[in-house]
Amino acid sequence: MESKKTFENYSKLSTDFEDLLHSKNYSDFRIIVKSQLQETKTFECHRAILSSRSDYFHGLFRSQMIEAQTGFIEFEDVMPQVMENLLSYIYSGKLEINSENAVEILVFSSRFCFHDLLDFVTDF
């Protein structure tokens, strides 16, 4: 019998992608979050990752509307901290939920159709 083993190292994959989000390397899409309470925050992102991890972004790029053409999107009704959490989840598949952020995560994972996340937070 031929022996076969699959090498798996998802935790490294996860941290590497998280690093990518913060390093801004090869970024081709910007997410700008404006807030009255906090200062405006810009995230340098990657279309390939956004669209493969989120139905919302998938639709956004596929429809070729204004955002896809200009290369950025602006949110005014999202807390920068929540957006960072969501992006971190998109990139790394990990998200720490605590009583501070739970409610907001719940709301935005619903809004952007992160169903797995939504189920998890609802249980929390």
Partner 1 sequence: MSRKMILRVPKFQEPKRMEKSEAQRLWLLLKDAIVEVQHMNASTLSFEELYRSSYSLVIAKRGDILYTGLEEVNNHHTKNLLDKIAQAVDERFLIELNSQWQQYKLQQIMIHDILMYLDRMYVKEPQLKVFDLGMFKWKQNVLIHSQINDRLVRMLLGLIHMERNGEVIDGALMKSLIQMYVDVSLKEKETYKQEFEERFLLATSHFYKSESNLFITNNSCGAYLKKVEIRLIEEEARIKQYLDESTGPKLIKACEDELIANHMQTMIEMETGCRTMIQNDRFNELKLMYRLFQRVENGLVHLKNEFAGYVRNEGHKIVNQPENLKDPNALITSLIEIRNRFEKTLSQSFANNRDFINSVNTAFESFLNENDKLSESLALFIDKKLRGGFKDSNDQEIDVIMNKVILLFRFLSDKDVFKKFYEHYLAKRLLSGRSFSEDLERTMISKFKQECGNQFTSKMEGMFTDMRLSKDALDGFKNYLQTSVEMGKLPKIDMSVRVLTQGFWPTFPPHSCTLPPLLSQYCDLFTKYYCHAHTGRRIIWQTNIGTAEVTFRLPKKTHVLALSTYQMLIMLLFNDAEKLSLKQMAAGTSISFMDIQRSVKPLYSGKYKVLKRTPAVEKSKELSENDIFELNLNLKCKLHRIKFAATSQTDSEPERQHTRQRVDEDRKIEIDAAIVRIMKSRKALIHNDLIVECTKQLSSRFVPQTSMIKKRIENLIEREYLERFPDDRRRYRYLA
Confirm if 88 and 18 have CB atoms less than 8 A apart: yes
Indicate the residue type of 56: Y
Residues that bind partner 1 (CB under 8 A): 55-56, 58-60, 62-69, 73-75, 77, 99, 102-104, 107, 110-111, 113, 115, 123-124
In the complex, minimum distance from the CB of residue 97 to partner 1, in angstroms, rounded to a whole number: 10
Q: How far is the CB of 79 from partner 1 (least distance, A)?
A: 10
Q: Nearer to partner 1 by C-beta: 22 or 111? A: 111
| Cα 97–chain centre separation | 15
Neighbouring-strand partners of residue 33:
41, 75
Q: How many residues comprise the chain?
A: 124
Structural contact between residues 68 and 29, judged by C-beta atoms closer than 8 angstroms: no
Task: Give the C-alpha separation, 12 to 9, whole Å.
Answer: 6
In angstroms, what is the minimal distance from the CB of 19 to partner 1?
Answer: 27
Q: Which is nearer to partner 1, 18 or 106 (CB)?
A: 106
Q: How many C-beta atoms lie closer than 10 Å to residue 110's C-beta? A: 14
Work out how close the CB of 33 gets to partner 1 at its nearest, in angstroms, rounded to a whole number. 12
